[in-house]
Amino acid sequence: MMSQISLLLTHLLFLPLTLCLLHPPPVHVPTLVPHVPTPLLRSHFSAHTQLDFITHCNSSCFHRGEQEGQKEQLSEKLAFETLYADGSRTLTTVDVEGDDEEFEGNPFTQTPRTRARVKPRHKRVRRQIYGADGRFNIQGDNFLLDYPFSTAVRISTGCTGVLVSQQHVLTAAHCVHDGKDYVKGARKLRVGFLLPPNINGSKVTSSKRPLVRWVRVKRTRVPKGWIQGPQEVSMDFDYALLELRWPHRRPFMRLSVAPDSDDLAGHRIHFSGFDSDRSGQLVYRFCPVEQESSDLIYQHCDARPGASGSGVYGRVWDNSLERWERKVIGIFSGHQWLEIDGESRDYNVAVRITPLKFAQICYWVHGNRLDCAQD
C-alpha cells in the first residue's frame, strides 16, 4: 500500500505536466506604507481555539469584493496588530499607494481575469470528506523531509502552518485569535517541525509517529480585517504570520498572488496539514478549484479540523525564472455554507492571496517595500 501511495505522489508531484503555452499577464502589486506602531493594552488571552471554523455567506457577500473599493476601507482592513513574546502588542496603520481611479472596482483585491462566479451544483449536506477520502499520509524519509511536504509545520494551538521564509510561518488567523482576543495558547506560541521517527537511528515502522521539534514564536501579526469583524466578512482576512525566534534550515515555499484557476497548472490546488482524525501524521491532498470569489477559493479538497492554516499551493508561472513553480496562493481556512439562488451549497474554503494581501504579507516578512514586487 505504501509503495502505491509513493508512486501516486511521485506521479502527481514530480512528473512534467502538460501546461498551457499562454502565460497569465503580470499582476500589479500596490505599495503599503506603514505608520509608526501604536502601543495597545496587553491581551487577556481569553479566547478558545476554534479548529473547525465555519461561516455562512449569501450572494451579496460572495460578490462583495466587486463593490468595496474605497482606499480608506482597504487601509483600515490592512492595518495590523503585532503580538510580541512578552505579551505586549501594537497596532500599525498603513496607507495604500495608488491613484484614486485605480481603486474603483477594487482591482487590487482581484487578479486581472478573476470574477466571482458560481457554477450550478446539486444541493448537498455538509461534509468535510467529499465521497471517497482522497487524503494521503506522508511517511518515511522519502517524502517527509522532501519539498514541498517539508514546508508544512504544526502550530501549538492545534493548526497547521507553511514556511514562507527562513524565519516566517503563514497560518490562519483563527488559530491564534478569535476576532475579539488572542487564544490562550498564543501566549507561548510554538511551531513544530516534523522529523522522521528514525531520526536517532531507530528502525522505521508503519506504527511509529514522526517526531516534532518545537520552536518558540518571536512575534505574531494579524490583519485588522480579521479583528472584530463579522465572520462572513473577516473570513476574507483569515491569515496570520508568525516570526520564529531563530531561522530554520529547511526550504520554504514562496508566495504568489493567486491567479485565476484557469491559470493554475491542471486547475488544481494542493495542501498538506495535520488533520485531527490522523493524529501526528502529515496529510496531503489535492483537488480542482470549484468556484472562486475575489477573496476566497472554494473547493472540495478533503480536510478535517487541524488542517486550518495549511499553505494552499499550485503551479504558477514565474516570470523571473521563466518556468512553472509551486507557490503558496492561499491559506486553508475552513468551511462555508454558500446561499446562492435559493440553494445551500457547502465548500471547504481557502483565503486567496490578492495583490494587497501579497503586499502586506511581504512587508511583514521583509520589512521593506523593495522586496515586495510580484514576479
C-alpha cell at 360: 502586506
Whole-model pTM: value is: 0.87
Residues 46-78 have pLDDT tens digits of 999 888 899 988 877 777 764 455 667 778 899
Peptide bond into 148 cis (omega under 30): yes
C-alpha cell at 251: 526550504
Closest CA to 77 of 309, 356, 370: 356
pLDDT for res 242: 98
Residues 158-196 have pLDDT tens digits of 999 999 999 999 999 999 999 999 999 999 999 999 887
Handedness of CA 331, 253, 322, 267 (dihedral sign): negative
Alpha carbons 7 and 11: distance in angstroms, whole number = 6
Share of the chain above pLDDT 90, in %: 55
Instruction: Determine the Cα angle at 69 with ends 67 and 70, to 5°.
Output: 130
Alpha carbons 168 and 182: distance in angstroms, whole number = 19
Q: Are 293 and 134 in contact (CB under 8 A)?
A: no
Closest CA to 372 of 142, 37, 18, 29: 29
Query: Which amino acid would we find at residue 99?
Result: D
pLDDT for res 125: 42
Exposure on the CB side of residue 269, measured as CA atoms within 13 A = 32
pLDDT at 223 over 60: yes
Q: Cell numbers 457577500 label which residue?
A: 61
pLDDT, mean over the chain: 83
Comparing 6-15, 94-103, 147-156, the range with the smallest average pLDDT is 6-15
Closest CA to 312 of 268, 366, 252, 372: 268
Beta strands of 37-157 (E only): which ranges? 38-40, 54-58, 80-84, 89-92, 94-97, 136-138, 152-155
Which residues lie across from 161 on neighbouring strands?
153
Alpha carbons 255 and 239: distance in angstroms, whole number = 13
pLDDT at 35 over 90: yes
Q: Are 307 and 52 in contact (CB under 8 A)?
A: no
pLDDT for res 75: 82
pLDDT for res 200: 56
Q: Measured over all CA atoms, what is the biggest interatomic distance in the chain, rounded to whole angstroms?
A: 63
